[in-house]
Amino acid sequence: MLRWIFFIIIVATGGCGTEIPPEEAIAAQDVKSSQQTTDENGNAIAGVTVLLAGNEMPPCDKETKGKTIYVEDTEKFHVCGKDWTEIDLRGAIGSTGTKGEKGDTGATGATGAAGSNGSDGAKGDKGDTGAAGSNGSDGAKGDKGDTGAAGATGATGATGATGATGATGATGAAGSNGTNGSNGTTGATGATGATGATGAAGSTVVSYITTGTQNIGAGSSLSAVANCGSSSYHIVGGGCQSTSTTTDLIYSYPSDAATDAWICAAQNTGGSTITLTAYAICLSY
């Protein structure tokens, strides 16, 4: 169904009916003054017909020839000649106007919420060492403290050096030689002495080697210990052995006399378990 709405395009006073954009309305006035204003029978055209949608437009024939229709959904004007023709009533785009004056500065907005702390920056290079400060003034002299308790008696000093030997006295005069005595008689042979006691038996030296093992997992470090195992045996030497070449020896040494053992430690740099063996050479003496 067609809905025909006739109105006079007068922008200054307005009118009843459907509103047409101001720029389109002004352009429409210009068109009325320059386009056909009467139909083929010489009847004056009263205004522009407004339709809600383009599919409501009637056929362009002798009934509508010379009429102008404005379609709301496309915001376009159409005039009926031989057929409905879309027309642009807006005219050429004018030149850009002069720049307006700068407006007043708006009021300052409310302060926004504080943002989260950023990440710490990279540590800066170490600064140069500053010059040494001047020495401070000496403090006031404190009060004299109480007399301390008497210290313990010191140790007796070392004996002094022996004095120098006195000068040798003068040699006395030699005495005269006495007469030689006669030889005495030979004494009798003495009795045979008693047999001496039997001496103590000498000690017997005994030695042996003992071992201690430790499995070390990949990437781990552990120690192995070989003990002499008796208070009568003492450590005199030792060493270490591994089942793999991926072994880094950390240390190998004898323990103190209280434990008499050889200790080895190593790191396994390989990807599978190895066995570390410690050897202790023990001696009984």
pLDDT in tens, 141-174: 888 888 888 878 878 878 878 878 868 878 767 7
The Cα 210–Cα 228 span in angstroms is 7
203 within 8 A of 285, measured Cβ to Cβ: yes
Residues 6+ apart with CB under 8 A from 264: 223, 224, 225, 239, 240, 249, 251, 252, 276, 277, 278
Please compute, for residue 236, the number of CA atoms within 13 A of its CA located in the half-sphere on the CB side.
Answer: 13
CA distances to 43, 57, 65, 147 from 61, in Å = 16, 12, 6, 138
CB atoms within 10 A of CB 34: 7
**pLDDT bracket for residue 124 (50, 70, 90):** confident
pLDDT in tens, 167-202: 887 876 776 766 766 776 777 887 887 875 764 554
Greatest Cα pair distance, the chain, in angstroms, is 207
252 within 8 A of 262, measured Cβ to Cβ: yes
The Cα 2–Cα 118 span in angstroms is 67
pLDDT in tens, 202-253: 454 567 888 989 999 999 999 999 998 888 888 899 999 999 999 999 999 9
CB atoms within 10 A of CB 246: 16
pTM, 2 dp: 0.30
Give the chain's radius of gyration (CA, Å): 66
236 within 8 A of 230, measured Cβ to Cβ: no
Residues 6+ apart with CB under 8 A from 127: none
The 10 Å CB-count burial string (b at 16+, else e) for 1-20 is: eeeeeebebeeeeeeeeeeb
Q: Per DSSP, which regions of the chain are E strands?
A: 6-7, 48-51, 68-71, 76-80, 84-87, 206-216, 221-227, 233-242, 247-254, 261-268, 274-284
284: closest CA among 226, 238, 227, 236? 236
